[in-house]
Structure 1
C-alpha cells in the first residue's frame, strides 16, 4: 500500500511539474520526507495525507470495501 501511495504522489507531482523540494515547501515538509513517501518507505498519517492532497491540488478519498464472502 505504501508503494502504491508513493507512486500516486510521484505521478501527481510530476504531472504538475513540481520538484520534490517544491512539493515539500507547499506541505511544510522537508524534501527527504517526500522522497521517502514516493519511494514507499513510509506510510503518512491521515493529516499528512490531507496536506499532500491540498499541495497536489487533489482530493483525498479513503474507502473501506467489504470482502466478498465465498459462495
Structure 2
C-alpha cells in the first residue's frame, strides 16, 4: 500500500502478505525465512530505485522497518 506523507512530498510503502491453508505452518518452517529475506531484498531494491536522483544522491530522511 502506498500512502502520501508530508503533503505528497514523501510516500509510505507498506507490504503485507497473508498465507493461508493447511500446509502454511509446514511450509513456513521450511522456507519462511527465505521468503521473508526475499521481501526484505525486494523492498530494499525498490527503496534504492525510487530514492535515486538524477545526480546519484539519495534521500536520508526515510525510515526503514523490518517486518515483525
Instruction: Give me the TM-score of the superposition, normalised by structure 1.
Output: 0.25
The structure with the greater share of residues assigned to strand is 2
Q: Normalization by structure 2: what TM-score?
A: 0.25
Q: Which has the higher helix share?
A: 1
Bigger relative CO (Cα 8 Å, ≥ 6 apart): 1
